[in-house]
Structure 1
Amino acid sequence: MNCEKQRSMLKKIQEIQFVAVELNLYLDTHPCDADAINDFNCAVQILEKRKQAYQDEFGPLLNFGFGGYSKEPWQWVESPWPWEI
């Protein structure tokens, strides 16, 4: 398994997720900022693409139905787990 590639992909997910959360917080107090709304929507789109690319290659990021469909065998129990990287 290519742990360096997995680590890199997780870092990119974390970076764009940070951007999305910060924009979400900003929009809580500035709900009419069209530029921020556009930036938020772009960040969410990038985040979803990065998550899907990660899951296609390394399996689910989350369990309990939030990680999408699982391939066979059940992938959630395969290691390393996302927080072990």
Structure 2
Amino acid sequence: MDRNKQMAMLEKVLEIQFVAIELNLYLDTHPCDQDALNDYNCAVELLMKLRAEYEECFGPLFHFGWSPIRGREWQWAEGPWPWEM
């Protein structure tokens, strides 16, 4: 497992997740801002893509229904936890 690649991919996921959360909060108070809505939709689409790529390489990022099971084995407890990297 390439730890540097894993960290780089995880950092990118977290960056885009932060953008999506911030835009979500902004849209709570500015629901008619079409530019922000477009940015939010782009961020969410990118986040889903990056998360899928990460999970394909390193296993699930989320639990409780957020990540489908790939293959035939439960992978949640496999590999290092985010705080162990």
Q: Secondary structure at the match of 1:63?
A: coil
Larger displacement relative to structure 2 (75-84 or 7-16): 75-84
Mapped pair 1:31 → 2:43 = no
Tell me the residue number matched to 1:70: 70
Tell me the residue number matched to 1:22: 22
Question: Identity of aligned pairs, percent?
Answer: 59
Distance 1:24 1:53 in 2: 23
Mapped pair 1:79 → 2:79 = yes
Distance 1:84 1:74 in 2: 20
TM-score by length of 2: 0.92
Q: CA RMSD in A?
A: 1.1
Distance 1:72 1:6 in 2: 22
Q: Secondary structure at the match of 2:49?
A: helix
| 1:64 shift after superposition | 2.2
Q: Secondary structure at the match of 2:64?
A: coil
**Consecutive aligned runs of 4 or more in structure 1 exceeding 4 Å deviation:** none
Unaligned runs of 5+ in 1: none
TM-score by length of 1: 0.92
